[in-house]
Homo-oligomer: A and B are copies of this chain.
């Protein structure tokens, strides 16, 4: 059986994702599609609209065979670490290929750029440092360095090109025997906030249109499969909300207000004295977006600041980041009957434990952080949902489709 990996967040699963999934099957001839998916918090430092379980359900309904969790320690991270964790996990399940969506759509461009990067890493890094000295953000410094290397025509201002390049770099750097492949995204740029296609729209634009409420579900219905719509409805009916940063702000504010600066400095990503700024600006901030706007500088991208806020909220420390550099387990969130057959087939040979009961992970530092993140995610629920959601994290067996 040929397994092909995809790296996803599905926040929420939409027609663009479906297109990517079906093209992946068609182009690779995969017998089994394995998705490694961020948990309750996402790469850009945001809570997922709905839980990992609901998003697993969307994925399985749409035809993914196996969903495994990309742990918090890799998910809420820069493209490099996100990619490294994801590719390692897909390789551990013996995926022969990975297939990612990108704005560029030509895999040779990614491979060439990754090779150049590895050959000229020092030069690239010194260009990045030079640009950072000028006070710009890391993504801009990175794009600037590539421009100066004059070695790629990849547009690195496009977020999916950046992620794609990170996957290919991880594969080459770690010499992982996995073939990368890319599919050109259609119609919508990742960050597009308006609808410009009759059935495809970015997850960002869908979340924006949804406005955290069921009332707007019909607006986004043309852009999502019926199963996503049902799952969203069901989630809202059960929990009374879609998750967004503003709901977590009381906890973030509480934590920043009551933490010492020295404690904030221990949090992953809190560097260069940003803790002063956080402590200073939080006092009068009434909302998350007001807070973000007040701490924003040329040097810090919105995403980087959101990740810092997420790490504070979930108490992810520098020390923990150090202890969690490589995946130590494969956590199964869900599978189809086809996926189950695949796992039966490979499970004796897996290099990492395949985990269906997280109680076995008590002492694993990666899972320690997952637990904290799960609780932070649940903290906004009234009882009994808060306690139940937490039990779900511990007790939910992998979903079956």
B287 near A372 with CB under 8 A, answer: no
Contacts of A134 in B (CB 8 A): none
A259: nearest residue on chain B (CB-CB)?
Answer: B315
Q: Report the separation of the CA atoms of residues A390 and B283 in the bound assembly, to the nearest whole angstrom.
A: 8
Alpha-carbon distance A375/B251, docked complex (angstroms): 12
Shortest Cβ distance from A252 into chain B, in angstroms? 10
List 22 A-B residue pairs with CB atoms under 8 Å apart, sorted by A's residue number.
Answer: A250-B379, A250-B386, A251-B251, A253-B379, A253-B386, A254-B254, A254-B376, A254-B379, A255-B255, A257-B372, A257-B376, A258-B314, A258-B376, A260-B315, A263-B315, A283-B387, A283-B390, A284-B387, A284-B391, A286-B383, A286-B384, A286-B386
Give the CA-CA distance A263 to B260 in the complex, in Å: 12
Point out the residues of chain B lying under 8 angstroms from A287, CB to CB. 383
- Asked if residues A375 and B254 are in contact (CB atoms below 8 Å), the reply is yes
Chain B: minimal CB distance from A254 (Å): 4
With most chain B CB atoms within 10 A of its CB, the pick from A257, A284, A390 is A257
A residues whose Cβ falls under 8 Å from a Cβ of B: 250-251, 253-255, 257-260, 263, 283-287, 313-315, 317, 372, 375-376, 379, 383-384, 386-387, 390-391
Whole-angstrom CA separation of A370 from B344 in the bound complex? 59
Which B-chain residue is minimally distant from A251 (CB atoms)?
A: B254
* The residue from B250, B255, B375 contacting A257, defined by CB atoms under 8 A apart: B375
Q: How far is the CA of A384 from the CA of B287 in the complex (A)?
A: 10
Closest partner residue, chain B, to A254 (CB atom): B379
Give the chain B neighbours of A285 by CB distance below 8 A.
387
Q: Do residues A257 and B379 form an inter-chain contact, with CB atoms below 8 A? A: yes
Cβ contact within 8 Å between A375 and B258: yes
A259 neighbours in B (Cβ, 8 Å)? 315
Q: A384 to chain B: closest CB distance in Å?
A: 6
Rounded to whole Å, the gap between the CB of A241 and the closest CB of chain B is 15
How long is the Cα–Cα vector from A183 to B251 in the complex, in angstroms?
A: 45
Chain B residues with Cβ below 8 Å from A383 are 286-287
Whole-angstrom distance from the CB of A73 to the nearest CB of chain B? 15
Output the nearest chain B residue to A390 by Cβ-Cβ distance. B283
Alpha-carbon distance between A284 and B386 when the two chains are bound, in angstroms: 9
Given the complex, which residues of B lie within 8 Å of A387, measured CB to CB?
Answer: 283-286
**Which residues on the B side are within 8 Å of A283 (C-beta)?**
387, 390
A305 to chain B minimum Cβ distance, whole angstroms, is: 20
Q: Across the two chains, which residue of chain B brings its CB closest to A382?
A: B250
Given A254-B379, A258-B315, A286-B383, list of 8 further CB < 8 A pairs?
Answer: A250-B379, A258-B313, A259-B315, A260-B315, A283-B387, A284-B387, A286-B384, A287-B383
